[in-house]
Amino acid sequence: MFDAEIAATLLNRWDRKPARAGRDAYLNLLREGNLDFTHQLGRVSVGEAADDSALNIESLVFVDGSRAVRIEAPDQGPGWTRWAAFEPPSVLVPDFA
């Protein structure tokens, strides 16, 4: 099991509870579990920067290379999607045989 899978499971369960603590409390939950990661926030849009169809993206990159991601379309829906986990990229080992 990769770190992102563990994090996505924990964070999706956390999201079901009402927010009681600070904004980054969910990140502290992962840190308390000794998961080492880098937190990234970004915005994706096509064309104009003020485009209403832009998406917000939140990503957690773990030391094992796995990643947990969620997106938000501010002009649609109730908020952020559930977290999704991605396996680390496979490393191709050259075949010298």
Q: Distance of alpha carbon 54 from its chain centroid, rounded? A: 17
> What are the boundaries of each domain within the chain?
3-86
Per-residue pLDDT, 60: 97
- Rounded to an integer, what distance in angstroms lies between the CA atom of residue 37 and that of residue 63? 6
Per-residue pLDDT, 19: 54
Global pTM?
A: 0.78
Q: Give the torsion through C-alpha atoms of 15, 21, 27, 29, to 10 deg.
A: -80
Per-residue pLDDT, 75: 77
pLDDT in tens, the chain (97 residues): 899 999 999 999 886 655 555 667 889 889 988 999 999 999 988 776 566 678 999 999 999 999 999 999 887 777 889 999 999 888 655 666 5
Per-residue pLDDT, 97: 55
